[in-house]
Amino acid sequence: MDDSSVSHHNGGQVGSQIGVSVNNKQNDEPSQSVQYSIPGILHFIQHEWARFELERSQWEVDRAEFKARIAFLEGERKGQENLKNDLVRRIKMLEYALKQERAKFHKLKYGVELQQGDVRPPPEEPTSEPEHAERAQWKQGRQLIKQYLQEIGYTDTILDVRSNRVRALLGLNNEEIENPNYRNYDKQQHDRCDYSMNHMVRKYDYGGKEARKSTGGGGYNEEGLSVQETAAVFANFEFLTNQEMDMDEIDDLDAKQSHHICSKKGEDLDLEAEEVLNELSLITEREADGGGQGDEYPVGGSAGGAGAGAAAGAGAGEADEEPLALGELAQLTVSNEPEAYDVASANKESFRKTWNAKYTLRSHFDGVRALAFHPTEAALVTASEDHTLKLWNLQRTVPAKKSAGLDVEPLYTFRAHTAPVLCLAMGAPRSEECFSGGLDGTIRVWNLPPPTADPYDPYDPAVQGAVLRDHTDAVWSLAAAHGRLLSASGDGTVRLWAPRAARPLLATLRADESPSAPAPAAADFADAAARAAVAYRDGSLLLYDLETGQAVLRAGCEAGATRVRAHPTLPLLVTAHEDRHIRFWDAVSGRCAHAMVAHLDAVTGLALDPNGLFLLSGSHDCSVRLWNLDTKTCVQEITAHRKKFDESILDVAFHPLRPYIASAGADGLAKVFV
Amino acid sequence: MADGLQILRRNRPGSKAKEFCRWPDEPFEEMDSTLAVQQFIQQTIRRDPSNLEAILKMPEAQDEGVWKYEHLRQFCMELNGLAVKLQAECKPETCTQMTATEQWIFLCAAHKTPKECPAIDYTRHTLDGAACLLNSNKYFPSRVSIKESSVAKLGSVCRRVYRIFSHAYFHHRSIFDAFEKETHLCKRFTYFVTKYSIISKEILILPKLDDETPVGESEA
Ligand SMILES: [Zn+2]
Ligand SMILES: [Zn+2]
């Protein structure tokens, strides 16, 4: 009992400079002796002054950090907007090219306009202008294509659906996609198609750029595409290059696009376009870790573009793609642009700083089982074994009189559960709601009080919303997305809810009907909430289609799982296990892409940052670890909580918008790091 | 990586409610956590919530301040259960003031100037205030040693908390009885404050409770 405790705030601010592990050990001294002497007092004053200076500088550092963060986020937003516009533009171009290919195929097959195929400007001379005579023929061809496009009903809606999907894939999509067309597709195929789209975009882009070089003139030299590389590309895209004249058309389309989507056009757009491509190629590379088959893609040294392979393979039905071409293209993209990693590195930059404990949330009487940040505000909700949930506003701190440390008092205490609260999920932005699941088997909907609420306001029963009672045992995991809720319970089922509906239970998912079936430990929405990833206590991992309620993928290992998270943009699932491992799964093939010993004890908490670049994990070994998802390396380790029995950290979280991370512990505390 | 020879006292996601914290007891001497006292108290309650003597039998060489502090934390925590039940029935329209017998109206001390809060607000504010105080870094920075001056603060918390029991007893008797049957909390609390002379006997206005307290008639 030499370790005297929980007083993080007395020593806390100094400690926070050094890190939490120090922080925890620092508290033994204060207020042990009460003998005063002049040197003692002087020393004390000196010490205090130094401390205040430190705190002040810490504040200044924080302020600078926040400013930088704001600037960065603003930049990022702008970038993403441009990216989005550009993607839409490119996808339209891509679709167009695809149709051309088909048109050509059609022509070839039925012998119409067969002579067109003979017109073939040599790829190594892309700058040559088409002859006038040829132009006439091309015009004819164009007419035909137009006709064909109309015939097949090549409508904007299709384009929109696809662009939405791609944006969703890139995590740019905030609004819900509610397009009926989308619903009609077989999801899985659709998915694959999306991945292949990435490649198509890239693939096409190079063809397109070259072609535009020929028609529209220079401006692309800075890209440094060597003649050989160009030739290689063209060798693979003869269709595109053949019909160079059609690039006029595309340019038209392009211009039209620019007209109503993006008023900005020109070189900087192309630079952005490159960024888009780079990001896409980056995705492919990461995906590479998640895939299962080929090594034919020597992409940037990573484990061999299996994801790309799978995607390309799957995409073959949609378009005549050659994996080899993709490989070369991928290589091209990466090798050409050293700034390929700009987007990522900018994000990394914001995380490169060391996270320090800033707020300690103390008010729960027992272990904190779960926490969730407010979707936008600097606020969070914690759920505890003391049967309550508490709402905290990090911007309404109570400066503790003596230590200038930041104590946060809860804004509101939610009481309704009749047993420990085990899990939490936050509703969508602006919905101001959260959901909690408890050992009592209930799921409760809560209307969050405003951040200005006073903890000692009169009791407002309207805070309590609906109660979902279908589970017959403890509810251990909740995930919310698009107004729906996914819960995993000790009763062996995973349930899908529309929590505000009159009949809230939408579906019940069971691994199998046998009574000995393992219970789900955790569930998360995956694939833009079209599927549910469920990790079971026996280590199996199932992916359910939420339309049909059927398991579409079975994977897993022997070690009991505790958590599962779906990557926000990639078909990647991450699971935490009792055997100290974190495992990464390809959500398409079900292959275990990577497994690593992540902690010294069972891994109990997992969170992915909103950009999908970092992973946060917590464990009963008392530490929180931050991982770079790309390299799978630990970026920071923080010792955050003490043990109660053999439990320590029970949950971790990222703020969806702001630079906060948090941990919840069996010691009854929650900590927020900045 | 679970069991084997070593017992791991932890709750695994996906387990059944009836398994929750149902692990073999750990001897107090072997608990090396800073939360040992809480662990020990909860373990004893779980074994038999009605065995007041066992629950309130302080281990040898235990710091009494910490012992009392941890028990009070446990009381306030379990009182959340009573508050949940009261929320359904104790309305500001019917219980406009915090009363037990008609002798006193209790003012809510959670506000800058004490206020005549309705009973349900008094209950919630008192529990919230207690959570605040008992988790205050200023008064209770440690859970293994507590200053004498801070131990003195426990008395006022106990007095206010007792009023929650008494309001429930006199105004929401069926709730009180159901809750008491399940938790024996009021009995334990009375035993606790008497044993450590935290509240003077005159304030303890509830008649002596025993297990055969009849359930029913919710009347003052
Ligand atoms: Zn009442
Ligand atoms: Zn009050």
Which helix (H) or strand (E) segment holds residue B80: the answer is helix B64-89
Token pair listed for B32: 């090396």
Please list every residue in chain A whose beta carbon sits closer than 8 Å to the beta carbon of residue B10. Answer: 602, 620, 645-647
Name which of B14, B35, B74 is nearest A488 (Cβ-Cβ): B14
Amino acid residing at A494: V
CA A439 to centroid of ligand 1, rounded, Å? 27
Structure tokens at B117: 């809060």
C-alpha A562 – ligand 1 centre gap (Å):
42
Interface residue A13 vs chain B (CB under 8 A):
no
Q: Which of B7, B25, B63, B77 would you mutate first to test chain A, the one with the most A CBs within 10 A?
A: B77
B80, B132, B141 member nearest A6 (Cβ): B141
Q: What's the CA dihedral at A226, A231, A237, A241 to 10 degrees?
A: 90
The tokens for A469 are: 């009672």
Question: Rounded to the nearest 10 degrees, what angle do helices B185-195 and B64-89 cross at?
Answer: 150
* B1/A413 touch (CB, cutoff 8 Å), yes or no: no
- Indicate yes or no: CB of B137 within 8 angstroms of CB of A407: yes
Q: Is B90 annotated as a binding residue?
A: yes
B-chain residues within 8 Å CB-CB of A647?
9-11
User: What is the spatial distance between Cα B189 and Cα B173, in angstroms, rounded to a whole number?
Assistant: 17
Closest-CA distance of chain B to residue A543, Å: 17
Distance from CA of A490 to the nearest CA of B (A): 5
Nearest chain B alpha carbon to A648: B10
Residues of chain A positioned with their CB less than 8 A from the CB of B9: 645-647
**Is B95 assigned a ligand-binding role in the annotation?**
yes
Question: Which positions in chain B touch A396 (Cβ < 8 Å)?
Answer: none
Mark yes or no for CB contact B13/A645 under 8 Å.
Answer: no
The CA distances from residue A173 to A83, A161, A202, A328, A568, in Å, are: 12, 12, 20, 30, 11
CA distance A404 to chain B (A): 11
How would you class A461 by CB atoms within 10 Å of its CB: exposed for 0-12, middle for 13-18, buried for 19 or more?
Answer: exposed
The whole-number mean pLDDT for each consecutive block of 10 residues of chain A, a chain of 674 residues, reads 41 39 43 69 84 84 85 85 85 84 77 46 40 62 59 43 46 41 40 41 39 37 41 42 39 37 39 47 41 34 35 36 34 32 44 80 94 93 96 77 64 95 92 94 94 88 93 95 94 93 92 82 93 94 93 91 94 94 93 94 94 93 93 91 93 93 94 92
Question: For residues B108 and A147, which has the higher predicted lDDT (pLDDT)?
Answer: B108
Question: Cβ contact (<8 Å) for B17 and A474?
Answer: yes
Quickly count: other Cβ atoms within 10 Å of residue B62's Cβ: 14
Cβ count within 10 A of residue B126:
25
Distance from CA of B9 to the nearest CA of A (A): 5
Question: How many Å apart are CA A247 and CA A216, to the nearest integer?
Answer: 10
Closest to A420 in 3D by CA, of A396, A402, A436, A397 = A436
Give the ipTM. 0.92
Q: Facing residues of A446 across strands?
A: A434, A464
**Contact residues, chain B, for A477 at CB < 8 Å:** 13
For position A170, what pLDDT does the model report? 46
Q: Do B34 and A477 touch (CB under 8 A)?
A: no
Strand A484-489 and strand A494-497: pairing?
antiparallel
CA-wise closest residue to A618 among A286, A369, A356: A369
Is B167 labeled as ligand-binding?
yes
Give the ligand with the smallest distance to the CA of B122. 2
**A606 near B CB under 8 A:** no
Whole-number Å distance between alpha carbons of A495 and A486:
6
How do residues B32-87 score in pLDDT, each as one tens digit? 889 999 999 999 999 999 999 999 999 988 999 999 999 999 999 999 999 999 99
CA of A381 relative to ligand 1 center, distance in Å: 28
Q: Taking each helix axis from N to C terminus, what angle separates A156-169 and A38-110, rounded to the nearest 10 degrees?
A: 150
Interface test with A, best of B7, B15, B21 (most A CBs within 10 A): B15
Q: What is d(CA A479, CA A487) in angstroms, rounded to the nearest whole number?
A: 7
Nearest CA in chain B to A463: B87
CB A386 within 8 A of CB A365: yes
Tokens of A337: 């642009």
Best A1, A32, A460 member to test B by mutation, with max B CBs in 10 Å, is A1
Q: How far is B176 from chain A (nearest CA, A)?
A: 15
Q: What is the pLDDT of residues B131-187, one digit of tens each?
A: 999 999 889 988 889 999 999 899 999 999 999 999 999 999 999 999 999 999 999
Residues sharing a CB contact under 8 Å with residue A204, sequence separation 6 or more, in sequence order? A90, A93, A94, A97, A237, A240
Q: Can you read off the two tokens belonging to residue B211?
A: 């297990």
Give the DSSP letter of residue B156.
H
**Side-by-side strand order, sheet with A421-426:** A421-426, A433-438, A443-447, A464-468
H or E element at residue B120: helix B119-134
Query: Helices (H), strands (E): how many in chain B?
Result: 8, 2
A3 touching B, CB under 8 A? yes
Distance in angstroms (rounded) separating the CA atoms of residues A239 and A157: 26
A124 has a chain B CB within 8 A of its CB: no
pTM above 0.80, yes or no: no
Pair of tokens at residue A450: 């405003």
Name chain A contacts of B25, Cβ cutoff 8 Å: none
Provide the number of CB pairs (under 8 Å) joining chain A to chain B.
Answer: 179
Residue type, position A449, single letter: P
d(CA A448, CA A410): 13
pLDDT on residue A51: 84
Of A559, A580, A646, the CB nearest to B9: A646
What one-letter code names the amino acid at A558? E
In this prediction, residue A398 carries a pLDDT of 63
Q: Are strands A540-545 and A531-536 parallel, antiparallel or unpaired?
A: antiparallel
Q: Which of A440, A559, A642 sits opposite B33 (nearest CB)?
A: A642
Q: Give CA–CA dist A153/A295, Å, rounded.
A: 39
Kindly state the tokens that stand for A54: 């430190």
Residue A115 has a pLDDT of 44
Contact at CB, A4 and B135, closer than 8 angstroms? no
SS3 label, residue A558: coil
3-state secondary structure of A672: strand
CB contact at 8 A, A435 and A448:
no
CA pair distance A303, A593, nearest whole angstrom? 10
Residue A392 bridge partners (DSSP) = A380, A410
